[in-house]
Amino acid sequence: MSQPTVTSTSSPTYPPGSTYSVPEPRRGAAFSPAQATPYDRLPRTLRWEWWRPLVALTVFGVLAVIGSVAVVGVAMVAVVLEGGAAGPAQLDALLDRLLAIDATDSLVLVLSLASIAVWLPAVAGALRIAGMRPIGHVSSVVLRLRWRWLLTCSVLAVATLALSLGLSFGLGALVGQNATPVWTSFDRLWLPLLIIILLVPFQAAAEEYVFRGVLVQALGSWLPRRAWSRVIVVVVPTIAFVLSHGYGLWGLLDVGVFALAAMWVTLRTGGLEAAIALHVVNNVVVFTALASGAFGTTVNGDEGGSLAGVLITVITSIGYCWIVEILANRRGLERTSSWPERGPVAPLALPVPHPVAGWTGTPTHDLVGSAR
């Protein structure tokens, strides 16, 4: 009498630092840990409780405010050291300078960029306090930044921004709307350039970790795994990112297109690298062009943007996403995690007793490996 074939299974590998327990063996279908957990649901592979992302977001908000206030305090000390007096009038003057954002104003650059860069340690601290470890899950599905992939995307982002600037200046020349450059002298330019190079990568990365990282994973882990849930995961952080910028209509639309592109590459590649690369290169190029006077002004006005600018951003963003997709496929980039989500899991496969002669009962389980 033939015996049923027993399917061998191996225990799933769980992320380090998690308290995921191996389920008890039960009868039924084979247990498979490779259920392709996407980036936005990674917190469910860790110590999952619904309140942990909420704690993380709350603690982040508190730490971000404390960090930003500390940066403003340092700026006020700098104002005093410049020979002024710290008071309401000086604070109002500093706020006016911040609203104007003159790219050659070193103090304003440091204050604007550092007040956002402090979000990076705030994110790390919030995740640790909430017990969402290892905190590398917010970087990618492999629990860390993939530096070689980040470098590759940075090169692609440079090409994308070069194309965008070329199209902008070329279209402006065709319609006769190019601004006349007012070049900044090197003695006024070198310090702002140094600040841009040193701080913009942290500022841009911090925004990605917040708007395409923590916020996306909080929503993704709270919502069920449905198509409409993915829409919410995309739309809510995108709107939040757009509203964090004080531009006019065309400027906000431009930011919205960028945010959608950054969201797409994050979810498609399973990590923040492609979005960080595009964000860093974009901000470095824009701030450098402003500081140099290439746009005819060094002030980043809130009325910036145009229909042509939005269309150019749409074209270049689609091109960037398309090439990122091609490169990710060629590299065999890990886009999802094979760690199972915490919650109900499929049972482990065990052989079912084979019917013997004279047995008259009705089997309640199919044999392992039998056709259905």
Convert the pLDDT of each residue in 4-30 to its tens digit.
Answer: 444 444 444 555 555 444 433 333 333
Cα separation values, 114 from 74, 188, 275, 279, Å: 11, 20, 20, 16
What are the tens digits of pLDDT across the range 29-48? 333 444 579 999 999 988 88
Q: What is the DSSP string of 86-118?
A: -SHHHHHHHHHHHHH-BTT-HHHHHHHHHHHHT
Looking at residue 81, its pLDDT comes to 72
Confidence of residue 272 (pLDDT cuts 50, 70, 90): very high
- Rounded to whole angstroms, the Cα distance separating 31 from 348 reads 5
Q: Which residue has the tokens 């702002």?
A: 192
If pLDDT is split at 50, 70 and 90, which confidence band does 195 have? very high
Task: Tell me: pLDDT of 220 over 50.
Answer: yes
pLDDT at 330 over 90: yes
Q: Read off the pLDDT of residues 340-362 as tens digits, 9 standing for 90 and up.
A: 887 544 433 444 444 444 444 44
Q: Inform me whether the pLDDT recorded for 133 exceeds 90.
A: no
**One-character DSSP codes across 304-367:** ---HHHHHHHHHHHHHHHHHHHHHHHHHT---SB-SPPSS--PPPP-PPPPP-TT--PPPSSPP
The DSSP secondary structure of 198-227, one letter per residue, reads HHHHHHHHHHHIIIIIIHHHHHHHHS-SSH
Give 11 or 160, the one with higher predicted confidence.
Answer: 160
Least confident range of 89-98, 143-152, 181-190, 299-308: 89-98
Q: pTM for this one?
A: 0.82
Better-predicted residue by pLDDT, 87 or 136 = 136
Residue 100 has pLDDT above 70, yes or no: yes
Distance (Å, whole) CA 201 – CA 117 = 8
Query: So what's the pLDDT on residue 248?
Result: 86
